[in-house]
Amino acid sequence: MLAPRPADREKGQDMDGMHSLAALRDFEIIRFCLDEDEVARIVVDPQGLLLWRSRAAAILLNGDCPLVDRAGKLGGVDRRTQQFLNERLEEAFAGEEICQFIETDQGRRFLLRMRLVDEDGERAVVITLKDFEAPVHIPRLERLFGLSAMEARILQLIIEGASAERIADNKAISILTVRTHIKHIHSKMDVRSKEEILAMIVKIFA
């Protein structure tokens, strides 16, 4: 039984936080649902129904977030985001681990990670959602991958969605120099594309 039990509802308990974990006690999801006050985690079934969410997720879904709670079902704030969410959930339930960025119309960026949990034929996806401010985390990435100061600054612009041409204009350097720095970043991070850079960052911080 994955959904919160009616008895729990009658006792004034809801899906937010530890109260609802009793409804999931026999399911592997529990091991992901730690640090509920600090980490925004959401558990959904194949129909997108909210089975559980941490307190941090409940706060986030009611704030400036690209995902929202639509009467007990996870949704996007607009049609574009809803389509993005539907596609990612379909991929996650097919067994693919999702590591991407998602952002609001105001440019606020979030790390989005989805992992499938399957136990005895009962499937759910655990979603981790985390607000991400690139400048705050760049020093850690610089140390972790041994990036030069310029490579770190270019990595920040890549994370923020800048093209190679925009980076060249921003740093007043040639496009060839930018591409050389990007090649070095790829080598040090052991990735081959911008998409792989973003996926790795999601895995590190989410």
For the stretch 86-141, pLDDT in tens is: 999 999 999 999 998 888 877 788 889 999 998 878 899 999 988 888 788 899 99
CATH number at residue 141: 1.10.10.10
**Domains contained in the chain, number:** 2
Q: Do 138 and 120 belong together in one domain?
A: no
CA 165, 171, 173 angle in degrees (round to 5)? 70
Could you tell me the CA-to-CA distances from 10 to 6, 23, 117 in Å, in that order?
A: 6, 14, 28
Residue 62 vs residue 17, higher pLDDT? 62
pLDDT (mean) for 131-156: 91
Per-residue pLDDT band for 188 (boundaries 50, 70, 90) equals very high
Res 37: pLDDT: 61
pLDDT (mean) for 22-34: 47
Q: Do 35 and 106 belong together in one domain?
A: yes
Res 36: pLDDT: 57
Helix (H, G, I), strand (E, B), or coil: what is residue 12? coil
Q: Do 144 and 82 belong together in one domain?
A: no
Q: Which residues face 101 on adjacent strands?
A: 111
How many residues appear in the chain? 206
Nearest to 175 by CA among 154, 156, 203: 154
184 within some domain? yes
1 within some domain? no
Helix (H, G, I), strand (E, B), or coil: what is residue 75? strand
pLDDT (mean) for 50-55: 90
Could you tell me the CA-to-CA distances from 74 to 42, 89, 141 in Å, in that order?
A: 9, 10, 32
Res 15: pLDDT: 52
Q: Do 62 and 160 belong together in one domain?
A: no
Q: Do 118 and 40 belong together in one domain?
A: yes
89 within some domain? yes
Res 19: pLDDT: 37
Q: Specify the residue for token string 């440019």.
A: 107
Res 6: pLDDT: 38
Q: What is the mean pLDDT of the chain?
A: 82
Read off the amino acid at residue 88. Answer: R
Q: Do 23 and 111 belong together in one domain?
A: yes
Q: Do 43 and 115 belong together in one domain?
A: yes
Name the domain boundary from 101, 131, 161.
131
Q: Which domain holds residue 143?
A: 134-205
Read off the amino acid at residue 107. Answer: G
